[in-house]
Amino acid sequence: MKAVAINSSPKMDKGITAKILAPFLRGMKEAGAEVELFYTKKLKINPCQGEFSCSLKTPAKCFQKDDMQMLHPKLLEADIWVFATPVYVSGITGPMKNLIDRILIPMGEPYLGLLDGRCHHFLRGEIKHGKVVLVSNCAYWEIDNFDLVVDQMIALSNHAEREFAGALLRPHGPAFESIVNNGAAVNDIIDAAKEVGRQLVQNGMMSPETLRIISRELIPLNMYVRT
């Protein structure tokens, strides 16, 4: 089983998102998955130009010469896509949006059809189906601050004709970072992130109960706001 993970945090492996992503990927690897991790900060990926050469002139190939020429084939071969992003203004980061646009548009046929009664660009015949996972953190306390990010990942999964396997969400991320940096016990969260990685590879799904541990409350809302 192959997985490609992309972390769009500008802090890369030093950010809060990485503190959840790293044990998740360890769990996947220990369960036998082959995992590659990329950082958008280290990639040169231009925005989609919307001129549809990849659909009409050179099917499945973008005319732009950048790091998507290396990354796109890896994504097409992967069974699991892992998108890791902090929440920026209720959504994913700008570099992650650029990357997603460049992934999806070359995958689709140029014509429209109906899928479950909705307009859809069906994938080219050689495209592999698989799963999509979201890993995210945000500074706000409430879990519903992830709603738009989760919805966007579900939409991505639908466009890519992949299964949205679920999300590892860490609200009030700065509190989590502070606790980790001070050496306090949040081992249950780290262990849960690793465990759902193992579950995904071995069982094809992640336990909702284990995912809830990753999102558990760390500090009361009124205390968090004061800090």
The tally of domains found in the chain comes to: 1
Contact between 86 and 171 (Cβ < 8 Å): no
pLDDT at 61: 85
Residue 200 to residue 75: CA distance in whole angstroms: 18
**H or E stretch covering 169:** strand 163-170
Task: Give one word for 50, left, alpha or beta, with left for phi > 0 and alpha for psi -120 to 50.
Answer: left
Instruction: Indicate if the pLDDT at residue 80 is higher than 70.
Output: yes
pLDDT at 227: 62
pLDDT at 19: 95
pLDDT by residue (tens digit) across 88-139?
Answer: 999 999 999 999 999 888 887 777 888 888 888 888 767 778 999 999 999 9
CATH of the domain at 76: 3.40.50.360
14: containing domain: 2-226
* Distances, alpha carbon 89 to alpha carbons 98, 119, 139, 142, 171, in Å: 16, 28, 11, 14, 14
